[in-house]
Structure 1
Amino acid sequence: MNRKTLVLPAVVGLLAPVLVACGGAEGVGGGGDSIVVGTTDELIADKDAPAPLDPAHAYDTGSWNVLRQTLQTLMHAPRGGGQPVPDAAKTCAFTDKASESYRCELRTDLSFTDGSPITAEDVKFSIERVLKINDDNGAAALLANIETIDVKGDHEVVFHLATPDATFPYKLSTPIAGIVSKKKYEGDKLRAGFGVDGSGPYTMTTQVKDDAVTKVTFKKNGSYKGDVKLHNSKVELRVYEDPEAMAKALDKGEIDIATRELGPEQVAQMKEKPKENITLTELQGLSIFYLAFNTDHPAVKDKAVRQAMAALVDRGQIAGQVYSATAEPLYSLIPASVSAHKNAFYNRYGEPSRAQAKQILRKAGIKTPVKLSLHYSEDRYSGATAKEFGLLKTQLNASKLFDVTVEGSDWATFRTAHKRGDYPVFGLGWVPDYPDPENYIAPFLEKDNFLNSPYVSTEARKLIPQSRRQADRTAAEPAFARLQEIVANDVPVLPLRQDKQYVAARAGVTGVERLLNGSSDLQLWELGRGDS
């Protein structure tokens, strides 16, 4: 099947250097031969998330980007995007036309970092472990369609699926399908802490303070056998509290690269006041930000309330005033750079309209103003979320149809509360597990979705498995068009913006344009030293 059509601009011309800017100290990071990368993606262990780097539990960009460097999967996303290619596997393919049986042959002489050989039994153990633990924070749902796994000898594994799924190779390329050792991981219990043992391109050690990772050191795994070619032998990933602190570290020469996530203010400063020796590179991202609704909560149980919000929210104002050139308005769960995208919310509601929102509420017999609280994480995204939610409050309250309050909390508190159903409305970002339109729909609408949403659309739950039958993914676009219409009508989520990605790098580092792919997968192996 040809997946390149799914991510049109995200694959072709993905990266465009914006400017040369930002000088500072000579020599970088004090890391010797290390390439030092800054990030704001947190890695925290607490009572609600004691195992942030266990593949059965991890399901956030920061954790997955550590696991992608250290755990090997049968398939992985290739350089430049497109259809997954074998990594731990030598070959993988469907053995039937219905996309229900998927066979992989492993490379020979694979081993974990402790020297133990990797066999097909280890692959089976790793996948079945995820399904058995079925952690409510994790991504086990990606593999839930597996009915049985057959092992033939040391190098052949066959996955039998309950229903056809042409996206299955993508799912095997995600960290949830990472291959782990029985010696280091129990079959029915999460591995607490920050240790990772696999067979990926790197080994790793962590520096931890107050149950949070401050630095991850990746070293080249000499026993790695796979598709990835390493251009370095050591990378340090340093975690910063916010984009401002990370940008200052870049200016001071403490790090070589600033990546996920530079905030809009930092990007604007780098564009407006160029300095010497740093290049800011713009990458087209596939991440989105949206409002999610607890559709059982009395405040938003009537979909007319959610529809009225959809009619009032001014996405253009949010993108322009809060995020400047770093985000674009989004009118669907599927971003505009994916070919199945449809402007479903704009088609239904048009430009922001108080009159339309008032009519929706009056027709449903909703008393106004509707009292409502919006919730967001203070420390999770680009640092501009508080300003964004302040603007949302202003937009909704200016209509006199809503009486909105806004509340921010730290990520650990926020995550627990929204999963428990405490919040009527809350903001979240979504980075796709793989660049197929199905991954922007199924995680929100299927049973046991990652939002723990009580919303149910019987039609959507029929269309999603139907869409997976299409080996030619363009043939699934009519199903996705209808699914986007369902979301716009029922508003279980309200898309707000699609974000761009930026990487700022000091002179002398190569491979920066390949550091992040469209799905925000960190590819540290692409970095090297040399002429810019």
Structure 2
Amino acid sequence: MNRKTLVLPAVVGLIAPVLAACGGSDSGSGGGGDIVVGTTDRFIATKDVPAPLDPAYAYDVGTWNILRQTVQTLMIQPKGEGDPVPEAAESCVFTDSGNERYECKLREGLKFSNGDPITAEDVKFSIDRARAIKADSGVFALLSTIDTVETKGDRDVIFHLKTADATFPFKLSTPVAGIVNPDDYEKNKLRDGFAVDGSGPYTLKADTKGDEMVKAVFTKNPDYKGTLKVNNDSVDMVSFTDADAMGAALEKGDIDVMSRTMSPEQIKKLSDNSGDVDMVELDGLEIRYLGFNTDAPTVKSKAVRQAIAQLVNRSELVSQVYGTQAEPLFSLVPASVTGHSNSFFNKYGDPSTTKAKSLLEKAGVTTPVKLTLNYTTDHYGPATKQEFQILQKQLNDSGLFDVTIKGTPWDTYVPAERKGEYAVYGMGWFPDFPDADNFLAPFLDKDNFLKSPYVNSRIINTLIPESRREADRLAAAGTLTDIQDTVAQDVPVLPLWQGKQYVAARDDITGTAYALNSASTLQLWELGRGVSG
């Protein structure tokens, strides 16, 4: 039977980690049973990150993909395109014309997976807890427009906002707004380790080895009440050290599905060859970028950052590393999202050594500028090193820079970046929700998740609030463009490319077309076992 390649349009809907490689699993595609999903995501509890799965801390695509299966939110992004819809809530609506008062009514009979009833007070506890803890991941900033949370009876929750926020329903669909049991989560302290308790479609059992979760076992929650139809009884998510080991397990039948993170070579091979594996290609909203510590001496001068922006050849980078699996990106906002503007192309045009040299000379910068470009070795896939080698060559070939590159494992990379140890560093972003605001505010607002020292008071105090007042996101396009143009001028971050996303599955697995949405949310409930076709 020939393997089918499905190319699907984006479905309108998050940063990204890796589970460590324990190789195969006893339950694979050979005889029914659990559906087994492979990943290169890792979940490690460290001194710097002791509570990787606490909703008040977790802020990357891997940990969120655990939480979305287990912790229920008031709202949820729908299966297809559209605005978020009620999930734990029966209904949610703005009750004023200014988008500053948002009221939700809980479904009747909601229970945590241990059988405890869920009340409005539990919702208030969960959201107030995340806001109060203010974890250094920065995830609490998603709730920054909340002023107070009020409850009425057991089922009504009212959010009073500090300022209008048309994106607030999307924010209530993210795991930081997940409902947790006060009996399991302390009010002012993160919950260390890998235990997760909620009211989502699955319960979680974590198989650990030392300080690392090597397999996540999801079992259908019989007490779940929400909008989702769960098409399986259990799913095992198994970690692999690299994409090659994960691919070998799929080929052997030890796993049924793999997605994050395949290598470009694997994707091409699976797309070209016949066999019993189906490849699903979807448009995605993942972006990659360089971040700058604008207080670091080597890049404190805006001219240095502008010169890098003038030299980077995105088309060459994409074609040599990712081929058709990615596209050059000239803004933090992907091209398919309302409000996108090609601000960096408008500002810098085609790569030019002459223009870059002029920028540095006018600012009195001595060349070559010595820099280290930092990247993570085990988080965004095996092509990351090659990507940074090309960036290094592009900058060094200009004669204006003397660049070295350095790779670091994710579990030490992120804490180091947040402490300001890197002048220039590579990161990825998977949106929390598919709105232009979520590609701008997390990088530029106060309490931004990068802990960036870059501050633009006009963006923070005027432009971001202005854009959020517009319920019609097309009407916010002018303000959003203004923000993007300012980023291109100041270059606190440098967008590089946006990528597609892929799911590979053995051909008796159904539901793969919806296994990921455009925000890279893993939707395990969509997977089932069917007849090989």
Give TM class, smaller chain. Answer: over 0.9
Give TM-score, length-normalised by structure 1. Answer: 0.94
**What pairs with 1:14-29 in structure 2 (closer than 5 Å)?**
28-29=28-29
Secondary structure at 2:148's aligned position in 1? strand
Closer, same or farther in 2 for the Cα pair 1:349/1:171, shift >3 Å? same
Inter-partner Cα distance in structure 2 for 1:52 and 1:136: 12
Q: CA deviation at 1:210?
A: 2.9
Q: CA deviation at 1:81?
A: 3.1
Inter-partner Cα distance in structure 1 for 2:12 and 2:453: 38
Inter-partner Cα distance in structure 2 for 1:61 and 1:231: 23
Inter-partner Cα distance in structure 1 for 2:283 and 2:520: 10
Inter-partner Cα distance in structure 1 for 2:529 and 2:32: 12
Task: Determine the structure 2 residue equivalent to 1:414.
Answer: 413
Task: Determine the structure 1 residue equivalent to 2:256.
Answer: 256
Q: Which amino acid aligns with 1:325?
A: T
- CA deviations 1:130-165 (Å, max 9, x no partner) are 011111114100112111111100000100000110
Closer, same or farther in 2 for the Cα pair 1:498/1:526, shift >3 Å? same
Inter-partner Cα distance in structure 1 for 2:112 and 2:457: 44
Task: Determine the structure 2 residue equivalent to 1:319.
Answer: 318
- The yes-or-no answer on 1:224 pairing with 2:237 is no
Q: CA deviation at 1:448?
A: 1.2
Q: CA deviation at 1:388?
A: 0.6
Q: What is the root-mean-square deviation in Å for CA atoms of aligned residues? A: 1.4
Task: Determine the structure 1 residue equivalent to 2:404.
Answer: 405
- How many residues of Structure 1 are paired with residues of Structure 2 in the alignment? 511
- The yes-or-no answer on 1:447 pairing with 2:446 is yes
More deviation in 513-522 or 453-462?
453-462
- CA deviations 1:405-463 (Å, max 9, x no partner) are 11111112211111110110000000000000000000011111001001111221110
- CA deviations 1:468-493 (Å, max 9, x no partner) are 00011111111111111001110000
- CA deviations 1:227-259 (Å, max 9, x no partner) are 111111111111111111111111111111111
Contact in 1 for aligned 2:30/2:253 (Cα 8 Å): no
**What pairs with 1:243-282 in structure 2 (closer than 5 Å)?**
243-272=243-272, 274-282=273-281
Closer, same or farther in 2 for the Cα pair 1:9/1:345, shift >3 Å? farther
Q: Which amino acid aligns with 1:41?
A: D
Contact in 1 for aligned 2:12/2:517 (Cα 8 Å): no
Inter-partner Cα distance in structure 2 for 1:387 and 1:68: 32
Inter-partner Cα distance in structure 2 for 1:301 and 1:165: 33
Task: Determine the structure 2 residue equivalent to 1:394.
Answer: 393
Inter-partner Cα distance in structure 2 for 1:496 and 1:31: 44
Inter-partner Cα distance in structure 1 for 2:482 and 2:230: 43
Q: CA deviation at 1:28?
A: 3.2
Task: Determine the structure 2 residue equivalent to 1:21.
Answer: none
- CA deviations 1:362-417 (Å, max 9, x no partner) are 11111110111110000111111111111111000000000111111111221111
- The yes-or-no answer on 1:86 pairing with 2:86 is yes
Q: CA deviation at 1:10?
A: 2.3
List runs of 5+ in structure 1 lacking aligned partners. 1-7, 14-26
Q: Which amino acid aligns with 2:414?
A: R
Secondary structure at 1:333's aligned position in 2? coil
Q: CA deviation at 1:89?
A: 0.3
Q: Which amino acid aligns with 2:478?
A: P
Q: CA deviation at 1:30?
A: 6.1
Contact in 2 for aligned 1:9/1:337 (Cα 8 Å): no
Q: Which runs of 4+ in 1 moved over 6 A?
A: none
Task: Determine the structure 1 residue equivalent to 2:168.
Answer: 168
Task: Determine the structure 2 residue equivalent to 1:185.
Answer: 185
Q: Which amino acid aligns with 1:453?
A: S
Q: CA deviation at 1:339?
A: 2.3
Give TM-score, length-normalised by structure 2. Answer: 0.94
More deviation in 274-283 or 388-397?
274-283
Contact in 2 for aligned 1:509/1:527 (Cα 8 Å): yes
Q: Which amino acid aligns with 1:452?
A: K
Contact in 2 for aligned 1:165/1:468 (Cα 8 Å): yes
Inter-partner Cα distance in structure 2 for 1:466 and 1:263: 40
Inter-partner Cα distance in structure 2 for 1:73 and 1:162: 21
Sequence identity percentage: 56
Contact in 1 for aligned 2:240/2:246 (Cα 8 Å): yes
Task: Determine the structure 1 residue equivalent to 2:5.
Answer: none
Contact in 2 for aligned 1:41/1:61 (Cα 8 Å): no
Q: Which amino acid aligns with 1:303?
A: K
Q: CA deviation at 1:101?
A: 0.2
Q: Which amino acid aligns with 1:213?
A: M
Secondary structure at 1:282's aligned position in 2? strand
